[in-house]
Amino acid sequence: MASTSSLWYGNYRGAVYPVDLHAPPIDLGPRARRMKTLVELCAEEIVKDSSLTRAAISVIPKPLCEPLMKEALYRNREMAIRCIVGSWPTQVLLLRHMVPQLFTSVQTLYNMAYQSDIVKQGLRYTTSLAHTFLDALKNNSNTKLRFLDLTGFPSAEVIVYFLATHCMLAHNEMRHQTIRNMYEQAVQQAGSQVVSEIEPMEPMEHSLPEECSVTIKLDAFVTSESTHTELCKALKVSSFPNRKLSIVLSRLSMTCLGQARISLLLKQLQPQQLTGLQLQYNALTAQDFVKLAPALQTLVSVESLDLSCNSIFFYQNEGCCNATALVFGAMPRLQRLDLSNNRIKTRLRRLLENIALPLTYLRLAGCGLTVTDMTYLAHSQHCANLVELDLSENNLSLCDRQFRDVVTAARSSLCVLEIEDCTLNCANVHSFLPCLAQLSSLMYLNVAENRLPQNSQVTLLATAAELVTLQVFKSSYALECYYFEGEEERLKAAALAELNLVANRSSVQSLRPKSLALFLTELERVLDAS
């Protein structure tokens, strides 16, 4: 269960949810001290008591409902949210206008506790609003709300299932009402003698008002067969005319479902609405992807695509390479792509050459990249525009010069560079230093798991710390920390102290606006070997 939870949170550190690297971390605690407006002070007090909220919502001007909702969401005041939704004065509520963006700062890339907190906060928002909206409709409240947009924030799978089942319930109620109307009409036409002999058809209690047509737009995460089945039916029903409740997906993540179920769900989507698609951990093969390709080519609005952690061996299947190139070429807005843990080996040009826009996010971890791939990447249209690049778990020591060409080509735009476990040695580090010094926008550098000695780490950090924009330097402890059994903790403390000294000295010399954060991890390959 713990591993499933970890995998689930990990899905939000990928291509589908872009991170605003330049924005500060979201404040999940008490708000920063500042002069509050009178409206904010009043809203803060009103939402503390649901009875006060209920009384205020009936008399305040309509424009003040929005500040109340913002305060209630921020403070997780469930009863206050219920009151406000029940009297919402307009037909539209956009969650992204009520609360700040969650995925901000480089902390999202490495701090799992912070990432877990912000995802949980997003789940609170979407869960609360989805429940209270449907409850308000069931209770025939005064709400005018007819379009609820939860996009940009993760929705728990249980909420996706909850909404899908309600969509089907509303559809079945409409069918029952239609059949009942036809039955009554037929009975009336049969004449009074027949009417007395036929038992009347019982009416059904409606879960939503009869004259109701509402839409909920959200980002869905699906990993179970039951949710997949319900969602497929709900999306199909949502395309029918005169439906009461319809579901529209903006981002979709499908995990552990397999090709057949993925294909079935993709066919039910409104393709022009989907902007992000994540297909991690589905054991997709090259043949599976070829089968999915026709459905994927219809997704013309997709900006982010994650195919990582599957078993697609591009280098062994020319048909799959061609199908993938056609899929990418059919997505004119595609800018964020993750192909990690699929074997590419010399086929990178074929895969990326049809992409219309230059990519800003490219993750190729564990793809078996070769000199040919790195040469293409360095001279492609994408390299000069990359903001985030992950080349981890590729043997970059075999294509040292081509790797330096890639970094040089991306020197003006690159903010995140991850080269974890790339078998870099002292010579590679020494040749990389001049290229590193040119990265004028770099904010996050990850060189962990490269089995470097302390002197190479110190040299690398000294150059990196001179970059004023750099905020985080992630590395593993040096090899020397594991030489003597029983001395690991003392040696790691000494190594960390030396790196901190280097970082502080370089920060002072470069007039860095904020101190450089060092994030050191265990050198797993050494621990595994021992």
The owner of tokens 């409709």 is 137
Mean pLDDT over residues 441-457, rounded? 95
Mean pLDDT computed over 463-476: 94
The pLDDT value given to residue 284: 97
The mean of the pLDDT values for the chain is 89
pLDDT band at 7 (very low <50, low <70, confident <90, very high): very low
User: pTM of the entire structure?
Assistant: 0.90
Q: Sketch the domain layout of the chain as residue ranges.
A: 38-89
* pLDDT tens readout for residues 346-372: 999 999 999 999 999 999 999 999 999
Q: Is the dihedral of CA 146, 152, 153, 156 positive or negative?
A: positive
Q: Find all residues with CB under 8 Å of 453, minimum gap 6, and list them.
A: 426, 478, 479, 480
Q: Give the count of alpha carbons within 13 A of 318, CB side only.
A: 0
Q: What is the mean pLDDT of residues 222-245?
A: 93
Cα gap 66→76, rounded to integer Å = 15
pLDDT of residue 1: 36
**Minimum mean pLDDT among 47-61, 94-108, 119-133, 167-181: which range?**
167-181
Q: Supply the pLDDT for residue 140.
A: 80
Q: pLDDT (tens digit, 9 = 90+) per residue, 121-172?
A: 999 999 999 999 999 998 888 899 999 999 999 999 999 999 999 999 888 8
Q: Percent of the chain scored above 70 by pLDDT?
A: 88
- From CA 526, how far away is CA 425, in angstroms rounded? 15
Q: Residue 433's pLDDT band (boundaries 50, 70, 90)?
A: very high
Q: Do residues 354 and 331 touch, judged by C-beta distance below 8 A? A: no
DSSP-derived 3-state class of residue 38: helix
| Residue 30 pLDDT class (50, 70, 90 cuts) | low
Mean pLDDT check: name the lowest of 95-99, 340-344, 514-518.
Answer: 514-518
Region 9-24: mean pLDDT is: 82
Q: At 401, which amino acid appears?
A: R
| Secondary structure (DSSP) of 123-181 | HHHHHHHHHHHHHHHHTT-S----EEEEEEEE--HHHHHHHHHHHHHHHHHHHHHHHHH
For residue 229, what are its two tokens? 């089945």
**In the predicted model, what is the mean pLDDT of residues 9-31?**
78
Give residue 210's pLDDT band: very low, low, confident or very high (50, 70, 90).
confident
Band (378; pLDDT cuts 50, 70, 90): very high
* Range name among 34-48, 155-169, 408-422 with the lowest pLDDT average: 34-48
pLDDT over 80 (residue 437): yes
Over range 251-273, report the average pLDDT: 95
> Is residue 24's pLDDT more than 50?
yes
Predicted confidence (pLDDT) at residue 225 exceeds the cutoff of 60: yes
**Per-residue pLDDT, 50:** 87
Q: Is the pLDDT of residue 34 over 90?
A: no
State mean pLDDT over 506-529: 76
Pick from 185-189, 235-239, 390-394, 464-468: least confident: 185-189
pLDDT at 183: 60
Tokens representing residue 486 in the block: 């029983």
What is the band of 184 on the pLDDT scale with cuts at 50, 70, 90? low
455 pLDDT band (50/70/90 cuts)? very high
Lowest mean per-residue pLDDT among 142-151, 200-209, 383-392, 471-480: 200-209
Q: Look at residue 3 and tell me whether its pLDDT is greater than 50.
A: no
Q: Would the pLDDT of 4 be above 50? A: no
Nearest to 280 by CA among 317, 305, 250, 249: 305
Lowest mean pLDDT among 32-41, 43-52, 317-326, 433-442: 32-41
Mean pLDDT, rounded, for 479-491: 90
Question: Does residue 35 register a pLDDT over 80?
Answer: no
pLDDT value at residue 13: 72
Asked whether the predicted pLDDT for residue 511 surpasses 80, the reply is no
DSSP E strands in 39-115: the ranges are 92-94
CA separation (Å) from 26 to 60, 106, 218, 442, 512? Answer: 30, 11, 21, 21, 22
Q: Show the tokens assigned to 310.
A: 């599957």
Q: How far apart are CA 370 and CA 454, in angstroms?
A: 28
Cα 349 from Cα 366, distance rounded (Å): 17
Tokens found for residue 498:
């030396």
Contacts of 115 (CB under 8 A, 6+ apart): 9, 12, 13, 107, 108
Q: What is the pLDDT of residue 457?
A: 95
Predicted pLDDT of residue 165: 94
Task: List, for residues 263-294, the tens digit of each pLDDT value.
Answer: 999 999 999 999 999 999 999 999 999 999 99
pLDDT of 2 reads 39
pLDDT at 397 over 90: yes
